[in-house]
Amino acid sequence: MIIDAKIISLVIFLLSYILFVAWTKRRMYVALTGAVLLILTGTISAKSAFFSVNWNVMGIFVGTLVVAEIFMRSKVPAYLAEVIVDKSRNTAWAILLICILTSIISAFVENVATVLIIAPVAFSLAKKLKINPVNMMIAIAISSNLQGTATLIGDPPSMLLGGFAKMNFLDFFFFHGKPSIFFAVEMGAIASFIFLYFIFRNQKEKMKIIRTERIKSWVPTLFLVSLIILLALSSFFDTDFLYITGGLCMAFGALSLIWEKFSNNGSILRDIKEMDWETTFFLMGIFVIIGSITLTGWIGTASNFLSGFVGKNLLLGYVLIILISVFLSAFIDNVPFLVAMLPLVNSITENIGTSPYLFLFGLLIGTSLGGNITPIGASANIVACGLLRKHGYHVGFWHFVKIGLIFTILAVLASSIFIWFVWH
């Protein structure tokens, strides 16, 4: 029965991801169908499926989606877009400044929340510049995934590694007297930023705009800034990333809906109906499918094989861990993958007789950045594509890969070389 469950989970996983690529516009139905089949076949129980969903991430997504929508209606994003266009040297630098703003926020706020925060500004900017926002939103998503790795509170994988390695917030900057993860990520950021400039380099026109936007209210901005500060502080209390961040986002989402209702005579029911439920249910289905792979032991099986293959070779082990992490996290959610790999990496380093931090840092870089390769490799990518779809823009799977793959190669190469020379 265990063997049957393992086979079924693997078949449903592979079929689902093939169909995600082939039927991009029907991915929600594919994900939900896969999740239902796993339960109906007895591969996983309904209870296991429920707990496979990362409800904290779902809370972040739904709550911040509401806050971002009310923030957009306040006209502050449109105003910021005008300021950025007016102050930028040209259109390319206006887009790159948006990516830099994304990077700064993402170092302190979870990636999904960051994309939802920046999206209103990006869409307003695209409207002002009269350009297609697809490449800009892809750049925002992958920039958030990169810088989310830089600090302890930037992304769940960083929090998980910090808890496993007993690292605090400052250890991500300097650890045991050496430059730590933050500086490795910034090396990757410099390399990948050059690539982003290459993508947008031809948009050199300087837009002359007449300032027309008037801010309706600063209250949604106050909500947003308060949420960002509380999300940053929450990591010191919710070290396992279990519930506080999602609860905070949901609370601020509810607060935003209530404020909109009484200040602008809005409709709470209408606002709830207009939310991006397609991406919401897609994320839930993905969590269940990935959960089945973890629960039936496939990740553990792969981990044991890797441990035996590496043996005592330090460089081989380091390179393999990065390559495998990058490849698998392009298709598998990085949280369950990292949870399975952390003890494996610790075991490998004990066999080799070396400090674990080289492999642990390489694992974090590969796992966090590999998700940038595909539109389904990271929650932030899924959300960005969902927002584009909501605004009437379609993101092709290979179009995303064309940008995400090169960005990832450059960022991982620069970051991993830095880690090797500092920590080997």
Mean of pLDDT values over 152-166: 75
How far apart CA 190 and CA 221 sit, in angstroms, is 30
User: Residues in the chain, how many?
Assistant: 424
Of 277 and 364, the one with more pLDDT = 364
Mean of pLDDT values over 349-374: 87
Q: Is residue 301 pLDDT above 60, yes or no?
A: yes
Cβ contacts of 128 within 8 Å, gap of 6 or more: 78, 81, 82, 85, 207, 209
Other Cβ atoms within 10 Å of 49 Cβ, number: 22
pLDDT at 125: 80
* Ramachandran bin of 403, using left for φ above 0, alpha for ψ from -120 to 50, beta for the remaining angles: alpha
How far apart CA 258 and CA 227 sit, in angstroms, is 16
| Helix, strand and coil in the chain, % to nearest 5 | 75, 0, 25
How far apart CA 189 and CA 223 sit, in angstroms, is 29
Mean of pLDDT values over 121-129: 82
Look at strands 174-175 and 178-179 and give their pairing.
antiparallel
Stated as kind and residue range, the H or E segment containing 373 is: none
How far apart CA 22 and CA 328 sit, in angstroms, is 19
Mean of pLDDT values over 391-396: 87
Main-chain dihedrals φ then ψ at residue 179, nearest 5 degrees: -60, 135
Q: Are 23 and 31 in contact (CB under 8 A)?
A: no
Of 1 and 31, the one with more pLDDT = 31
pLDDT at 326: 93
Of 131 and 184, the one with more pLDDT = 184
Running DSSP on this structure, what letter comes out for residue 42?
A: T
Of 252 and 290, the one with more pLDDT = 252
pLDDT at 1: 43
Running DSSP on this structure, what letter comes out for residue 178?
A: E
Q: How confident is the model at residue 103 (pLDDT cuts 50, 70, 90)?
A: confident
How far apart CA 396 and CA 404 sit, in angstroms, is 12
- The token pair at 220 is 């949604």
How far apart CA 360 and CA 302 sit, in angstroms, is 17
Question: Which burial class, exposed, middle or buried, applies to 226 when counting CB atoms under 10 A from its CB (0-12, 13-18, 19+)?
Answer: middle
Amino acid at position 188, single letter: G
How far apart CA 204 and CA 198 sit, in angstroms, is 12
pLDDT at 264: 81
pLDDT at 40: 93
How far apart CA 68 and CA 114 sit, in angstroms, is 10
DSSP 254-273: HHHHHHHHHHH---HHHHHH
- The token pair at 118 is 């920046």
Question: Which burial class, exposed, middle or buried, applies to 380 when counting CB atoms under 10 A from its CB (0-12, 13-18, 19+)?
Answer: buried
pLDDT at 235: 63
Tokens 């931090």 appear where?
357
Amino acid at position 99, single letter: C
